[in-house]
Amino acid sequence: MKPEHPPEEHPLVQLARRTIEAYVREGQRISAPRELTPEMKLRAGTFVSLHRLGQLRGCIGTFMPTQPNVAVEVISNAISAATRDPRFTPVRPDELDDLVISVDVLSAPEAIESPAELDPVRYGVIVEAGGRRGLLLPNLEGVDTVEEQIAIARSKAWIAPREPIKLYRFEVVRYGHH
């Protein structure tokens, strides 16, 4: 019996990894693959999350599509997650081997009437007030209640705790590990 190899990374995760490596090492923005997988042909918002040594290292995304397809959306967001997340310094070449990457593909947001329609494992949340928007992905470690989810999304958008908000929910398909 051969030892079990870890499963191959999903093509979207591979694309994010190739993008980040080319950009961090050579300053090059790669092109989308000529052969697109079915997921890559969709138009959807995507988030690219980077973890290193168990800690968040970058997470940037779009909650609505801004590119012609998911492949280009992931390339754009992978570069941003690695180099433009204001919470972190840009990823350095010596960190690349330690990166754990996940890609979330988002469903279209749907307006909801109340927090009762949320579930922090199943749904991500978008809060909106006065042109400001905060988004939190679903199924995040340490976010166990709808109240926490809404509070974090509010703080990301600088929306005060008592300010009235509109709520939206969305689902994701997550590729890779979190």
Reported as a single tens digit per residue, the pLDDT across 129-173 is 999 999 999 999 999 999 999 999 999 999 999 999 999 999 999
Residue 8 confidence (pLDDT): 83
Which CA distances in Å does 89 have to 23, 26, 54?
15, 17, 17
**pLDDT, the chain, mean:** 94
Give residue 4's pLDDT: 52
* Per-residue pLDDT at 165: 97
Tens digits of residue pLDDT in 39-98? 999 999 999 999 999 999 999 999 899 999 999 999 999 999 999 999 999 999 999 999
CATH class label, 11-106: alpha beta
What homologous superfamily is domain 110-171 in, according to CATH? Hypothetical protein ph0010; domain 2 (3.30.1490.150)
pLDDT surpasses 80 at 1? no
Question: What is the Cα–Cα distance from 84 to 81, expressed in whole angstroms?
Answer: 6
pLDDT above 70 coverage of the chain, percent:
96
In the predicted structure, residue 112 carries a pLDDT above the cut 90: yes
Instruction: Specify the pairing of strand 55-61 against strand 46-52.
Output: antiparallel
Q: Are 104 and 173 in contact (CB under 8 A)?
A: yes
pTM (2 d.p.): 0.90
Checking phi first, is residue 110 left (phi over 0); if not, alpha (psi -120 to 50) or beta?
beta
The structural domains of the chain, with segments of one domain joined by +, span 11-106, 110-171
Tens-digit pLDDT profile for residues 8-51: 899 999 999 999 999 999 999 999 999 999 999 999 999 999 99
pLDDT of 7 reads 65
- Res. 3 pLDDT band, cuts 50 70 90: very low
